[in-house]
Structure 1
Amino acid sequence: MESQSECYFNIPVLLISTIVSFLSVHSTIIEKPVFKWLNKQTGKERELQLQKLALKNEQSSLSMVDEFAKYSKLQRRINVIDRELEQIKGDKPTNSFVVQLGFTYGVKLVFALLLILLSLYYRYTPVLYLGDKISLTPFTNFICYPNDANYVSFYFWAMCCVTVARLI
């Protein structure tokens, strides 16, 4: 590395490391939309929900005491629809606790492995250069490893990004 007098940033490496570090900590940013998409209602579910809502509205207009037979008949139809909805929801694979847990930790594992691979790939690429005017004297080896003095390494930058992301 050649000596320079002013600061510079390696923008692509800086952005990649920051984004992957942040996503490795806050993987729910990806998990929530995926689970929402996987658990979206089917046409059959929407139709059953509409039927249930119509029956509930009709039932609310009746007096339970005066028209008990009609009220209980509507309640039985609502119960049948509830069972069908539970059956449909139970058939979805994403409702399994094991699937949800596996997906949650799988996403975290993917980002952790990606961060490790990027650390290996960019190990000799400095993220930024602080200039000759700034001295990192007691921590130079820790911040710069394996680069020259006053260069911030990928390792250190990723570690700082993960720490800040956890604090947020």
Structure 2
Amino acid sequence: MLEVINGFLLVYFIILCSLSALVPYLVKPIAACFARPSNEERSVWAEIMKLKAEQKSISMKDEFAAYSKLQRKINKLENQLKDGSQSRISKSLAVKSTIQIVLQAVVAFMTVISVIWFRREPIVALKGDLFPLATMLRYPSDMPNAISTHVWVVISNISIRTLLKPITS
């Protein structure tokens, strides 16, 4: 059986490990705020829609010159929109990767500092004799059959990532 010795640390490290596993999925909505089309792109898009509607009202056979003139304007605006969207997409990728790196670094830093700070605190104690593994599971704690913060973080990380894999895939 299992006896929780430090419930706060148990929950704290589960939350940190969950955040670490979910960072790639938290980045998408955050980065989306920075990747919205500009007002200029929206106005160009509106102009394209207006020109296409105007072009539909013109007969291609009867007024070929006017139809072609509108088509050239539409093509020019679409190329302009395409160039703007490509630069926006590349900027979005840079923002997304920067946010992901920063979030991963913050969570990793908090985890490492917390593991160092609470290294002698046992998280849970297991009933029974764990003879071959007892020393490794409790190190550097002195409590017999305990699981230290180091081991708890490893167990939590593996467990949470395994549990979240079917949900996030």
Quickly name the TM-score band, shorter chain normalised.
Answer: 0.7 to 0.9
1:98-109 superposed matches below 5 A: 100-109=96-105
Deviations 1:65-118 (A, max 9, x none): 554333322222223332443454466596275554444333323322221111
- Report the Cα distance in structure 2 between the residues aligned to 1:58 and 1:165, rounded to whole angstroms: 56
Alignment gaps of 5+ in structure 2 = none
Identity among equivalent positions (%) equals: 28
Q: Aligned pair in 2 of structure 1 residues 50, 120: CA closer, same or farther (>3 Å)?
A: same
User: Could you tell me whether the CA contact under 8 Å between 1:10 and 1:128 is conserved in 2?
Assistant: yes
Q: Which residue of 2 aligns with 1:40?
A: 36
Alignment gaps of 5+ in structure 1 = none
User: Could you tell me whether the CA contact under 8 Å between 1:9 and 1:128 is conserved in 2?
Assistant: yes
Partner secondary structure for residue 146 of structure 1: coil
Please, what is the CA RMSD of the aligned residues? Answer: 3.0
Q: Aligned pair in 2 of structure 1 residues 159, 62: CA closer, same or farther (>3 Å)?
A: farther
User: Could you tell me whether the CA contact under 8 Å between 1:21 and 1:161 is conserved in 2?
Assistant: yes
Deviation at 1:149, TM superposition (A): 1.6
After alignment, is 19-28 or 56-65 more displaced? 56-65
Q: Aligned pair in 2 of structure 1 residues 65, 103: CA closer, same or farther (>3 Å)?
A: farther
Q: TM-score by structure 2 length?
A: 0.74
User: Could you tell me whether the CA contact under 8 Å between 2:140 and 2:148 is conserved in 1?
Assistant: yes
Query: Between Structure 1 and Structure 2, how many residues are aligned?
Result: 162
